[in-house]
Chain A
Amino acid sequence: MASDKISVSGFRHFFPTEDGPVQATGTIDLAIREGEFVTLVGPSGCGKTTLLKAIAGFIAPSEGTILCDGKPVKGPGRERGVVFQELAILPWRTVRRNIAHGLEIAGASKAVRESTVARLVDLMGLAGFEDRYPHELSGGMRQRVAVARTWAADPEIILMDEPFAAVDAMTRLTLQEELGRLCATTGKTVFFITHSVDEAVFLADRVLVMTKRPGTIKAVLEVPRHGSGGRDWDSFTADPEMRNISEQVMHLVHAERGAR
């Protein structure tokens, strides 16, 4: 399809080990449209991070092709931003300089850098912390900086690998709402990996469910949006339609437990 932002076809990946190659994923075909928020849930070890790494260009697929805007992915690039699960912002840069890093690399003027940082600091609730170093921030704050840094670089596609997994439950709810709002206002194409069913449904336009290793995509569920802007947890939990989708996803994920 012409309007596919990301297109994965016939993807399969093996990791070399001492006892020969181990299959990390089954055959995966996947297309993500421009501006779409796609989440991927699956049991741990199913190969979801492998798929994300391949789209990011960190690993070359053993089989199949990955296209981004119709062009094959060859290594990491600034049009595909990544938010990692672990601390990936630079400890030796302040919040401000971390967020501005992508713009700095792109050679943006000081005025542009400053206004972008100011906007994102505001959006992500980081006001007052601009000149702190990451080690002086809480885990939730650091992930906000990571998200802001990726958005500031203005990639077309954003890949997120369980970005809120290491954050406490309360903060996570806030971050999820903030992310939803951010996406609604910026219209980015997002591919988001998680093992939390609620998170997957809450954020998504479309939820993909993966089987256990070697993982393939076993189900795709559309999550309709009513009105613009991100969702909020209060109305999300009160909405029977959303609850219904969550339950379906939960059943699909649970069926993947068992034999292991």
Chain B
Amino acid sequence: MTWVPERLVWRVLPAAPAAVLLAVWAIYWWIERPPPSTIPSIAAVVWIYGEQLLNGLLVADIAASLARLLGGAALGIVTGIAAGFVAGLHRPTAEFFNPLVTFFNAISGIVWLPLVIGWLGVGTALATFLIWNTVFFIVFQNTVLGVQLVPEVLELSVRTLGASRWETLKSVTLPGALPYILTGIRSGLGFGWRALIAAELVGANTGLGHMIFSGAEYHRADIIVAGCLAIGVIALAMDRWLLVPVERRTVRRWGLVTEARGN
């Protein structure tokens, strides 16, 4: 009997639940034959992908959604980190803005949609605002926590090496807060997708959210499911190939985040 290396098994295994889900879907559809407007067949969804790839709509929708997501998220990440640093380093500032942050955090993201659609109309500006508003608070709060948790002794020790305030920020505070900043970015992107799709459902003429919305208008479950699957797969790919490698090369390499216990 040949043993497959354990590592390889664990690399492949996460795909198993997805395979099970697909199998259940296929079997259910084969036995039950639900009306196509409720649950589509896998074949129908694959067909939609083929069709939309050929006419170029899928690529255009994905490109539009990604551009909005990355634009809004980049804005949210940059402003969130910057504001988080200011608040994290200066307690009076943090206390001054605290009520404001709590207030606007509770109504962040898609809550703004009904109002802002009147200000910005449909399209990129609306989506960008909603995503920025969502991502900002998550990144901000994680950054504040991360900055506050950097051990003071590290900053002091670098000051005694002759470091300026700026050098200390760059070589101590930023890398020290990075585990929390990365966590903020990861969950921020997740929430960012939701804000994006919400914005596109009502306020866009392109994008995956618009694709889903137009599917709903014509009771086309195949289009809706195709759109949802695309969102999930892209989000997963971004996490695996963008964020996880950054994490592996930084906070894991530095031993700030330990590998999960056991193996």
Q: Which residues of A contact B (CB under 8 A)?
A: 56, 58, 75-78, 80-82, 84, 86-93, 101-102, 105-106, 133-136, 146, 149-150, 153, 155
A91 and B257 alpha carbons, distance in the complex (Å): 11
CB contact between A105 and one of B161, B178, B256 (< 8 Å): that residue: B161
Chain A residue, CB-CB nearest to B178: A92
Query: B255 → chain A, closest Cβ, in Å?
Result: 3
Query: A34 → chain B, closest Cβ, in Å?
Result: 19
Evaluate contact between B161 and A86: CB separation under 8 angstroms. Answer: no
9 closest residue pairs by CB, A with B: A135-B255, A78-B162, A102-B161, A88-B157, A76-B159, A92-B175, A92-B254, A82-B160, A88-B153
Give the number of chain B interface residues (Cβ < 8 Å). Answer: 23
Chain A residue, CB-CB nearest to B157: A88
Which B143-172 residues have a C-beta within 8 angstroms of A?
151, 153-154, 156-164, 167, 171-172
Question: Given contacts A105-B167, A133-B255, A135-B254, is CB(A90)–CB(B162) below 8 Å?
Answer: no
Chain B neighbourhood of A153, CB < 8 A: 160-162
Chain A neighbourhood of B172, CB < 8 A: 90
Q: Which of B154, B164, B172, B176 neighbours the largest number of chain A CB atoms within 10 Å of its CB?
A: B154
Evaluate contact between A77 and B160: CB separation under 8 angstroms. Answer: yes
Question: Given contacts A133-B253, A136-B255, is CB(A105)–CB(B162) below 8 Å?
Answer: yes
Could you list 9 further interchain pairs (A-B, Cβ under 8 angstroms) beyond the known A101-B171, A133-B255, A153-B160?
Answer: A56-B160, A90-B175, A92-B178, A101-B158, A102-B162, A105-B161, A135-B254, A149-B161, A155-B160
The answer to whether the Cβ of B183 comes within 8 Å of any Cβ in the partner chain is no
A78 and B175 alpha carbons, distance in the complex (Å): 22
Question: Given contacts A88-B153, A92-B254, A134-B255, is CB(A78)–CB(B158) below 8 Å?
Answer: no
